[in-house]
Amino acid sequence: MADASFGFSTLQMGELAIGKHVHYILSVEKKKDSFESVVMDHLRMNGAYWGLTTLDLLGKLDSVNADEVLSWIMACQHESGGFSGNIGHDPHILYTLSAVQVLALFNKLDVLDIDKVATYITGLQNEDGSFSGDMWGEVDTRFSYIAICCLSILRCLDKINVEKAVSYILSCKNLDGGFGCTPGGESHAGQIFCCVGALAITGSLHHVDKDLLGWWLCERQVKSGGLNGRPEKLPDVCYSWWVLSSLIMIDRVHWIDKEKLVKFILDCQDLENGGISDRPDDAVDVFHTYFGVAGLSLLEYPGLKAVDPAYALPVDVVNRIFFGR
Amino acid sequence: MDLLNQLETILESDPLIDEVGFIHPSQFVTLHKECGESGNLSADGDFGSTNMKFWNRDHKLGISTEVLLPLCKAAKSAFMNVMKQYKMLSNLSDSKSEDENAMYVSSLSCQSFEDEVMKHSRALLLLSSDFGTAWNARKLVVLKEQQLSMFTDELLLSALVLSYSPKSEQAWSHRRWVIKMIAGKHLNLQQILAKESELVEKIAERSKMNYRAWNHRCWLVSYMTREQMLHELKRSRDWAGLHVADNSCFHYRRRLMLRILENKQEGDDFSYGVENYHVMKEELDLNEVLVKRYIGREALWLHRRFLSLMWIQHLTTMCGISCHSEQKTGIDNEINLFLDKELCLLDSCSVIQDTEFEDFKAQAMYSAIYFLWLVKQIPQLRKIEMHEKLKVIVTSFTSSPSMSSRLGSDYQIQPWSGVSLPFIKSFATWIGDFITAAVGVVLASMDKVVRTKLTGCRPYGSSVSANNVDC
């Protein structure tokens, strides 16, 4: 159900400060000398994905030097084939997906030794179909999504046991229709995105009770229009992505009030210095800026590239991967 | 002494530190004053009263927010450097180990590098809790040494990190790794589980609705015996009653209950059956008490959805097993009885006693949505003569003296204002009618409408009649 009626209403509620946000993202890289940036140093690869995907959705990916980014990414790859969050850190599946996604943004997947990356990911699948995040064995449905998404982008999903991977994800389904980290874990919108995304990519969405899950998901919308990730929690811009993309994948997005959500996200902008925060008047960060912009893109906000709800990449990038443009 | 050295010396000298926090310089002044009043000015020397960067008393450690940045940088670079050397050395000792003398020398220096790795990674993790590579380095060293004391030290460090960063995913994950390593081999698993459960409860008290903490507790359940699960259910009962908005705690109870209900293979089937019955009944009763005491709590109503579903499933299974028609009638009666009780609850909860506060509106909304959910989820409900029951409710609404308060002003909209219109709309005509009925708006065609909708029940039908939902 496409909703093309934002034209008039956005004028009333203020608009997306595209220029400010671009400036904010470019400036984050330069501010390296704060405690916050030092403690985030180990997940710089995720940061790169959030920032660069936002720039691409805003149509400004060309404002960064692609070669610099590429050589830094490749310096983060390990012998095992996995990528680390930054140079000198240990590899993890979390950063491997981000690295592959960023390379996809720049249309540079060909610099990868695809077999090597695929071998790393395949090696993390366990007997029960689940995936470990790295050699130390922590299991989480997030890692199932990452493995499936990453291998799908690399066009070698057949290297893992998809059937078992799917059945493990389904074993994490709760009676409320949602999904948790491991069997019996509490439903959480972030985990739901991962599970639904993995099921969507593997063509297994028929295993989901869409009405039941859709009910839980649309109950995440609170009065302000924002979405929370679990019952009784405050709304947070990042759930504009996790909840919204899941609702779209199961075809139930018309169950929430989209216009109110758009307003909520726009209210979380820092109109002076750019960037988007979790809630109105909080401090901004790249993570929430990405999820705010991606959420608006899912809501078909004018002036933004469309984003794919399962791959979390711009639709034109996904099309390039699968249909050669 | 440089900053990092100071921190590491404190950590070395007081291995029992159980809490870390970052303190603003102005708070140091307050702390000094308090210390001065207690008359122990010089007792802690460098790190006690005079030091403005670190505070260490009673096994608590405070670090000044002013030194965080340089300290964190120093810890990171010290750790990364020693790690590089350590890895090089272990690669060397792996590849050529013929010469005994060389082996001795390299194992000696290996040992000292390991000490350094442990020292710097500890300091670093107290400043940057999710620095995965530092946790991994510790796993490498501990795995190599295979000493129980080192494993338990890891549990202490992880707890210490969680004291300032209770949501640290890495710290929780590190715990699980350690527990998997030592479980069975060194320590009694049941004791570990009990201790872990306590830790989660302690952290959950300070850090509300902490997903990572409760997820850890849910993970523990798969290792528990039936007795332990029953004990945990009992133990977390009071806590749940005091934290009625904490959905995670209720999820933990759901997890325990599901495991308890599913394990009936071993032991006495009959006594387990009776016990299971009581587990469910008690939880339903507790929930009803809480629902009535704490008005408008989403987590409580969601918990009730689960409980009702389990309860009716339980009754239905009994119905499936039994082939005697008498017993079947008895169970049907039980289901009917249960639904009557639920309708009474719905009835009592949809009275808005006070329009000033949102709570009563929320309560009315949650109770009605709860009932809708039940109708959708439980197929049996549709077979039962629901319209008769609804008629009773509607009659009680219209004849009740408080009716004017129910129907007063713009009542019809209020209880639903928290739910967006598209949400309601998409539940289609039958739900729209149901809502209308449940809040007591008497439509002339009430009887017919409800009967059609609930017996012909086309959930989430696509056509939406504006008349019905524009309440």
Q: What is the 3-state secondary structure (H, E, C) of chain A?
A: CCCCCHHHHHHHHCCCCHHHHHHHHHHHCCCCCCHHHHHCHHHHHHHHHHHHHHHHHCCCHHHCCHHHHHHHHHHCECCCCCEECCCCCCECHHHHHHHHHHHHHCCCHHHCCHHHHHHHHHCCECCCCCEECCCCCCECHHHHHHHHHHHHHCCCHHHCCHHHHHHHHHHCECCCCCECCCCCCCCCHHHHHHHHHHHHHCCCHHHCCHHHHHHHHHCCECCCCCECCCCCCCCCCHHHHHHHHHHHHCCCHHHCCHHHHHHHHHHCECCCCCCEECCCCCCEEHHHHHHHHHHHHHCCCCCCCCECCCCCCEHHHHHHHHHCC
Chain-centroid distance, C-alpha B109? 45
| Residues paired with residue A139 on neighbouring β-strands, in sequence order | A132
Number of other CB atoms surrounding residue B1 within 10 Å: 9
Q: Given an 8 Å threshold on Cβ–Cβ distance, is B423 in contact with A212? A: no
Tally of residues, chain B: 471
Helix, strand, or coil (residue B226): helix
SS3 for B141?
A: helix
What are the pLDDT tens digits along chain B (471 aa)? 799 999 999 999 999 999 999 999 888 888 877 776 444 444 444 454 467 899 999 999 999 999 999 999 999 999 999 999 998 888 776 665 556 666 666 666 788 899 999 999 999 999 999 999 999 999 999 999 889 999 999 999 999 999 999 999 999 999 999 999 998 776 788 899 999 999 999 999 999 999 999 999 999 999 999 999 999 999 999 999 999 999 999 999 999 999 999 866 555 667 788 899 999 999 999 999 999 999 999 999 999 999 999 998 888 776 555 556 666 677 778 888 888 888 888 888 877 766 667 788 888 888 888 888 887 776 656 555 555 555 555 444 444 433 334 333 333 333 333 443 333 333 433 444 444 444 433 322 233 333 333 333 332 222 323 233 222
Closest residue in A to B84 (Cα) is: A88
Q: Which of B132, B215, B298 sits opposite A186 (nearest CB)?
A: B215
Q: Which residue of B has its CA nearest to A86?
A: B133
Q: Is A300 on the interface with B (CB under 8 A)?
A: no
Can you give the length of chain A in residues?
325
Token digits of residue B368: 């009605």
What pLDDT sits at residue B452?
Answer: 37
Q: Give the residue among A2, A19, A103 at the shortest CA–CA distance from A58.
A: A19
Cα B42 from Cα B52, distance rounded (Å)? 14
**Could you tell me if A211 lies within 8 Å of chain B, comparing CB atoms?**
yes
Residue in A closest to B428 by C-alpha: A255
pLDDT classification of A267: cutoffs 50, 70, 90: very high
Secondary structure (3-state) at B268 = coil
CB contact under 8 A, A33 and B69: yes
If one counts every other C-beta atom within 10 angstroms of the C-beta of residue B362, the result is: 18
Strands A284-285 and B19-23: what pairing? Answer: unpaired
Is A42 an 8 Å CB contact of chain B? yes
Q: Is A277 left (phi over 0), alpha (psi -120 to 50) or beta?
A: beta
Q: List, in sequence order, every residue forming a beta bridge with A83; answer none if it has no partner.
A: A77
CA distance B373 to chain A (A): 9
The residue written with tokens 């798969």 in the block is B222
What local confidence, expressed as pLDDT, does residue B432 receive? 41
Q: For residue A222, what is the nearest residue in chain B, using CA coordinates?
A: B418
User: Which string of b and e fits A180-217 if b means at least 16 CB within 10 Å?
Assistant: bbbbbbbbbbbbbbbbbbbbbbbebeeebebbbbbbbb
Distance CA B353, CA B357 (A): 9
Q: Which residue has the tokens 């409900």?
A: B381
Of B139, B299, B420, the CB nearest to A231: B299
Within 233-252 of A, beta carbons closer than 8 Å to B belong to 233, 252
Average pLDDT estimate for A263-284: 96
B residues 190-229 closer than 8 Å to A (CB):
209, 211, 214-215, 218-219, 221-222
Specify the pLDDT at position A325. Answer: 57
**Chain B interface includes A2 (CB < 8 A):** no
**Cβ <8 Å between B247 and A232:** yes
In chain A, residues with a C-beta closer than 8 Å to the C-beta of B232 are none
Contact A125, A147 (CB under 8 A): yes
Q: What is the DSSP letter of B62?
A: E
What is the DSSP track for B410-422? TTTTGGGTTS-HH
Do the Cβ atoms of A232 and B297 come within 8 Å? Answer: yes
Q: Say if residues A49 and A98 touch (Cβ distance below 8 Å).
A: yes
DSSP run (H or E) holding B64: strand B60-64
Chain A / chain B CB contacts < 8 angstroms: 121
pLDDT digits (tens, 9 = 90+) for B377-418: 766 565 555 555 555 554 444 444 333 343 333 333 333 334
**Token duo for residue A293:** 């912009």
Question: Do residue A256 and residue B420 have CB atoms under 8 angstroms apart?
Answer: yes
Structure tokens of B310? 């389990």
Distance from the A107 Cα atom to the nearest Cα atom in chain B, whole angstroms: 30
| Cβ–Cβ gap A211/B460 under 8 Å | yes
**Does the distance separating the beta carbons of B133 and A90 come in below 8 Å?**
yes
Chain A residues with beta carbon closer than 8 angstroms to that of B373: 215
CA distance B86 to B119: 13
* C-alpha dist (Å) from residue A180 to B83, B299, B373: 35, 17, 21
Closest Cα in chain A, distance from residue B102 (Å): 28
Is the CB of A181 inside 8 Å of chain B's CB atoms? yes
Structure tokens at B409: 């002003």
Q: Do B377 and A182 touch (CB under 8 A)?
A: no
CA distance A83 to A97: 8
Helix (H, G, I), strand (E, B) or coil at B105: helix
The answer to whether B223 and B183 are in contact (CB under 8 A) is yes
Q: Do residue B133 and residue A89 have CB atoms under 8 angstroms apart?
A: yes
CA dist A133 and B118 (Å) reads: 23
Interchain pair B418, A188: CB under 8 A: no
The identity of residue A142, as a single letter, is: R
DSSP code, position B55: E
Contact: A186, B73; criterion CB under 8 Å: no
Q: Indicate the residue type of A50.
A: W
Measure the CA–CA gap between A120 and A116, rounded to whole angstroms: 6
What gap in Å lies between CA A28 and CA B238, rounded to an integer?
46
Of A92, A211, A230, the CB nearest to B247: A230
Residues within 8 A of B (CB atoms), A 56-95 only: 84-85, 88-90, 92
Q: pLDDT tens for residues B245-257?
A: 999 999 999 999 9
Residue of A nearest to B208 (CA): A233
Alpha carbons B154 and B156: distance in angstroms, whole number: 5
Closest residue on chain B to A234 (Cα): B209
Nearest Cα residue in chain A from B80: A88
Burial of B466 (0-12, 13-18, 19+ CB in 10 A): exposed
The tokens describing A78, both together, are 């390990």
Q: What is the distance between the alpha carbons of residues B65 and A206, in angstroms, rounded to a whole number? A: 52
Interface test with A, best of B133, B214, B419 (most A CBs within 10 A): B133
Q: Cα separations (Å) of B251 from A2, A69, B209?
A: 36, 43, 11
| Alpha-carbon gap, residue A231 to B233, rounded angstroms | 21
Q: What distance in Å separates residue B99's CA from the closest CA in chain A?
A: 29
User: In this complex, is the C-beta atom of B68 within 8 Å of any C-beta atom belonging to chain A?
Assistant: yes
Contacts of A163 (CB under 8 A, 6+ apart): A129
Interacting residues of B317 by C-beta distance below 8 A, sequence separation 6+: none
Per-residue model confidence (pLDDT) at position A36:
82
Contact flag B209-A233 (C-beta cutoff 8 Å): yes
Which amino acid would we find at residue A47?
A: G
Least Cα separation, residue B177 to chain A (angstroms) = 8
Q: Given CB atoms, is B127 within the 8 Å cutoff of chain A?
A: yes
Task: Collect all residues with Cβ–Cβ distance below 8 Å to B103 and sequence separation of at least 6.
Answer: B93, B97
Q: pLDDT tens across A163-221, in order?
A: 999 999 999 999 999 999 999 999 999 999 999 999 999 999 999 999 999 999 999 99
pLDDT of amino acid B97: 53
Q: Which of A90, A186, A222 sits opposite B136 (nearest CB)?
A: A90
- Note the Cα B93 to chain centre separation in Å: 46
The C-alpha torsion from A4 through A9 and A13 to A16, rounded to 10°, is 30
- A148 CB-near residues (< 8 Å, 6+ apart): A157, A160, A162, A165, A197, A198, A201, A202
**Per-residue model confidence (pLDDT) at position B186:** 66
Q: pLDDT for A108-161, tens place per residue?
A: 999 999 999 999 999 999 999 999 999 999 999 999 999 999 999 999 999 999
- Residue B268's Cβ-count burial label (10 Å; 0-12, 13-18, 19+) is exposed
Nearest 10 degrees: CA dihedral of B179, B182, B183, B185? 180
Burial (0-12, 13-18, 19+ Cβ within 10 Å), B27: middle
- Bin A251: left if φ > 0, else alpha if -120 < ψ < 50, else beta: left
- The identity of residue B131, as a single letter, is F
CB-CB: which of A88, A230, A255 is closest to B80? A88
Query: Quick one: tokens of A49?
Result: 């994905």
Q: Does B181 touch chain A (CB under 8 A)?
A: no
Residues 6+ away with beta carbon under 8 Å from B167: B207, B210, B211, B212, B213
Asked whether A307 and A314 are in contact (CB, 8 A), the reply is: yes
Mean of per-residue pLDDT scores for chain A: 94
CA nearest to B200, candidates B216, B179, B183, B222? B216
Whether the CB of B298 is below 8 Å from some CB of chain A: the reply is yes
